[in-house]
Amino acid sequence: MIWRYAYFEEQVCLFMLHYLQEGMCFVDIGAHFGFFTLFGNYLVGKKGRVFSFEPTPSAYQQLFRNVANCPNVQTHNCAAFSEESEMKFCDYGLEKSAHNSVFGTRIKDHSLNAPKALLVRARTVDNVIKEEGCREVHFVKIHAESSEIHVLRGMTEILKAYRPYVVIEVGDFGIDGVPTSEEIVTWLQEMGYIPYEVRNGECVRHSKKTYYEYGNLLFIPDI
């Protein structure tokens, strides 16, 4: 997709183009090889800051190489989660690493091999941002492969204090122990956020659903 069109995840790209501006602080959770980290770095410019989280060691190594010439990007080889701990992680190999997750893959892809079990460090975004000495966060992208609610619970201080824009994956895949997307949307609404979606290339107000296909939503604070 990137090779052919120079982008992927059109919804996320449009949200970032609309709302991520020069000088802002961008947090990329589930950075993978760094496409959105690099895109965010381009948008925030030399006066901005970017913090990237990627738990899988092989994907993190590629991410680290890709941002080697970006001095305002700080990478963290850990999973963003609701508590500081270590946890088991399913690793499907570098080629299929976009499927890696605490909960196993949500995509029924018969080409996937059995995952390798890894032990990865888990950290709260609140604690990492504090340690980095960052006093503002403007935009957060969360692609956490079914761990979204845990990521959000680990950044409640940021959500309350800085009121960043939040882009998050949605999609109901019937995985045990994973809340529905409706529950996650409700959680963010209770935190004072309004959901938006992309429709005909524009960001428009989103009406909550009881079932979600795969997609991305933008949450804007109701200040």
d(CA 56, CA 79): 8
Contact assessment for residue 51 and residue 162, using Cβ atoms and an 8 Å cutoff: no
Q: What is the share, in percent, of the chain residues with pLDDT greater than 70?
A: 91
**At residue 126, does pLDDT exceed 80?**
yes
Q: pTM of the predicted model, to two decimals?
A: 0.90
Confidence band for 89, pLDDT divided at 50, 70 and 90: confident
Amino acid of residue 9: E
Tell me, what's the pLDDT at 79? 93
When the pLDDT of each residue in the chain is averaged and rounded to a whole number, the result is 91
- Burial tier of 93 (Cβ tally within 10 Å: 0-12, 13-18, 19+): middle
Q: What is the share, in percent, of the chain residues with pLDDT greater than 90?
A: 74
In a domain, 142, yes or no: yes
Do strands 215-221 and 165-170 pair parallel, antiparallel, or not at all (unpaired)? antiparallel
Do strands 165-170 and 202-205 pair parallel, antiparallel, or not at all (unpaired)? unpaired
- Per residue in 39-49, pLDDT tens? 999 999 999 99
Tell me, what's the pLDDT at 104? 60
Query: If you average pLDDT over residues 131-139, what whole number do you get?
Result: 96
Query: If you average pLDDT over residues 170-194, what whole number do you get?
Result: 93
Q: How many domains does the chain have?
A: 1
Q: Where are the beta strands (DSSP E) in the chain?
A: 25-29, 49-53, 73-76, 79-80, 85-91, 116-123, 139-142, 165-170, 193-199, 202-205, 215-221
**At residue 124, does pLDDT exceed 70?**
yes
In a domain, 3, yes or no: no
CATH number, domain containing residue 57? 3.40.50.150
Tell me, what's the pLDDT at 8? 79
CA 137, 138, 142, 147: dihedral to nearest 10 degrees? 40
Tell me, what's the pLDDT at 196? 98
Residues listed for the chain: 223
Tell me, what's the pLDDT at 24? 98
3-state SS assignment for residue 28:
strand
Domain that holds residue 79: 8-221
In a domain, 1, yes or no: no
**At residue 92, does pLDDT exceed 90?**
no
